[in-house]
Structure 1
Amino acid sequence: MSGRYVPARDAEWKKIAPHVHMFLPGTIHIEDEPHPGWKLSFELDFDGVRVAPLAVHIASTGAAISGTDLRAIAVNEVLAGSLTAGADLVGFLAHDEGWTLVPTEEDKERIRREGPTPENVECVAAHFLYARATRTPASEYVQFQFGLPKPTAARWLRKAREMGLIDGDD
């Protein structure tokens, strides 16, 4: 799934989770989801708890879209997938400390190699909180984002809870 995020003219940095900010409102454009030739657009903003769609626009480049087709779209799943895996959000997500929430492959490798240093645990916690704010299974997102086995991710997240960086469960 690929997506393109376009901030609105009145966009500003909004805190969507502790230490995590996103440039909102904006629109994410997704092509060929859930069917080839379809184009989805989600107008997004922060509702005080989550990054949420304010409006959903659907277009087709050929076939007619029926009411059954529309009801079959898992809006939250498509949106969460695009916000956590498919969309190019470089420059639109940030952490209080000024580092990006879109790490490079080199960053990910370095973090795995260094292990759970305080800085790396803080980075993992920020990704966990971002995933939670976008309605994504946060523990699984951390595993996917950093290439960590489930027990390792769980250990790092437990350390983040001990450090007071995150609260509650996924």
Structure 2
Amino acid sequence: MPDNRRELPLAARLGASIDGVQLADGSSYVAIKPSLLAPTSVRATVELEHFPDTHFDVRLRWDSETLGYRVEHLGITTDRGISTSDLHAYSVPTLVRVVASSGVLVELESITGEAGKFTGFEEFLALVDLDAMRTRASTGPADSLWLVAILYAYARTVGLNPNRTVVDLLALPQRTATRWIARARTEGLLD
């Protein structure tokens, strides 16, 4: 049987591999400000590196109230059985992040000028000059606030701490990141 597992960058950092990521039947995408698309329902089988003989079947559904995903189904399959201590060791938030991150797309228009073209978040980050954004963001150009809004919206969507994500990826002090997030929200770049 061929190994179809993919190691997406976020999944690899979280110690997971994903097999069979797919939009659930009838799923569409929801637009998230400033320029993200998230599937309304996504399903995948996940394997965590610390539990190689255990497979998690995860199905997520978009929740428009929280602007994030809710677990619709979580199944665990293993050949060795599951103990109570195993159940405590599994990280449901990690499973949700891995599956949610696999389907979120970012529009490329502001970077490449190609309207209507989208890419995965990790690929998007590879196209952005984060150092230039860090430098220019202090003076407040729109593209830097746009990036802050993208980082924040993505993190909120996949279940990461949005403020911490902006702080970490842009190497900003917490207070500065909070101010820029508020400014992006004031300028209508965030929901």
Verify same fold: TM over 0.5.
yes
Residue in structure 2 matched with residue 148 of structure 1 by the alignment: 171
Q: Which runs of 5+ in 2 are unaligned?
A: 1-13, 110-115
Give the letter for the 1:78 counterpart.
Answer: L
* C-alpha separation in 2, matches of 1:106 and 1:18: 19
Q: Which runs of 5+ in 1 are unaligned?
A: none
Residue in structure 2 matched with residue 51 of structure 1 by the alignment: 69
Deviations 1:80-119 (A, max 9, x none): 3x257xx544xx4235964546123341435335434212
Shift of 1:24: 2.9
Residue in structure 2 matched with residue 104 of structure 1 by the alignment: 125
Greater than 6 Å deviation, 4+ residue runs: none
Shift of 1:147: 4.0
Shift of 1:142: 2.1
* C-alpha separation in 2, matches of 1:34 and 1:113: 39
For 1:76, which of 71, 86, 93 is the aligned residue?
A: 93
Q: Using the aligned pairs only, state the percent identity.
A: 21
TM-score (norm 1): 0.71
The change in CA–CA distance for 1:154 and 1:101 in structure 2 (over 3 A counts) is farther
Is the Cα–Cα contact under 8 Å of residues 3 and 28 in structure 1 kept in the other structure? no
Query: 1:30-69 residue pairs with structure 2 within 5 A?
Result: 30-32=46-48, 35-49=51-65, 50-60=68-78, 62-69=79-86
| Greater C-alpha Rg | 2
Deviations 1:141-160 (A, max 9, x none): 2233x342334433432331
Query: 1:123-134 residue pairs with structure 2 within 5 A?
Result: 123-134=147-158
Shift of 1:63: 2.5
Deviations 1:53-94 (A, max 9, x none): 10012122x4221344235533134313x257xx544xx423
Is the Cα–Cα contact under 8 Å of residues 76 and 135 in structure 1 kept in the other structure? yes
The size of the alignment, in residue pairs, is 159
Matched, 1:18 2:33: yes
* C-alpha separation in 2, matches of 1:162 and 1:3: 38
Matched, 1:6 2:22: yes
The change in CA–CA distance for 1:9 and 1:29 in structure 2 (over 3 A counts) is same
For 1:122, which of 127, 146, 162 is the aligned residue?
A: 146
Is the Cα–Cα contact under 8 Å of residues 57 and 75 in structure 2 kept in the other structure? yes
* C-alpha separation in 1, matches of 2:53 and 2:182: 43
Shift of 1:51: 1.2
TM-score (norm 2): 0.65
Shift of 1:38: 2.1
Shift of 1:126: 2.5
